[in-house]
Amino acid sequence: MTPPRRTVRTILVATCLATAGMALAACSPVKEDRGYIFDPNDLTRIQAGVTSKEQVRTIMGSPSTTSAIDGEAWYYISSKFETTTFYRPKEVDRAVAAVYFEKTDVVQEVAYYGLEDGQIVNFVDRTTPTRGKELTILGQLFGNLGRYNAPGAAMPGVGTGNPGSRR
């Protein structure tokens, strides 16, 4: 007994929809938080001219990085990345809270920076050329054809004398 056409069609449509749903789910971006996770209430508890360095450490924890140029500053850095299938992760959001201290270790200023405030700094923008040529995979595979030692020929480094003997 063969199954009715309606049942086969229903199974086929359900299978196609399930496959399409899985394909769409595989293409959705994977979101990832990196760095310090901000609590909005923490920044409001820090007051310029009042909060000490130790109080900042108690409220916010250890900074992501510090700077000691013209006073001292602590930076709390958070980034959000999205990765879609096989592409490189792309930074979609960045938050930097900068806490600047006076020489007396009291907060001078609290600043908040976003992704739009950042600048990519290329420390070295020149490249060093390399000698030789770039080979394709086929060039690498077939480049050594015919490069072999003939039968009976001495191998390089073999029979060149005893390293301890004098000539």
Q: Which residues contact 101 (CB under 8 A, 6 or more apart)?
A: 53, 71, 72, 73, 74, 107, 108
pTM: 0.56
- pLDDT tens per residue, range 141-166: 777 776 666 666 555 555 555 555 45
d(CA 29, CA 87): 10
Q: Where are the domains of the chain?
A: 27-117
pLDDT band (50, 70, 90) for residue 41? confident
- pLDDT tens per residue, range 44-97: 899 999 999 999 999 999 898 888 676 689 999 888 999 887 788 888 888 888
- Residue 99, judged by CB atoms within 10 A of its CB (0-12, 13-18, 19+), counts as buried
Residue 150, CB-side half-sphere exposure with 13 Å CA sphere: 1
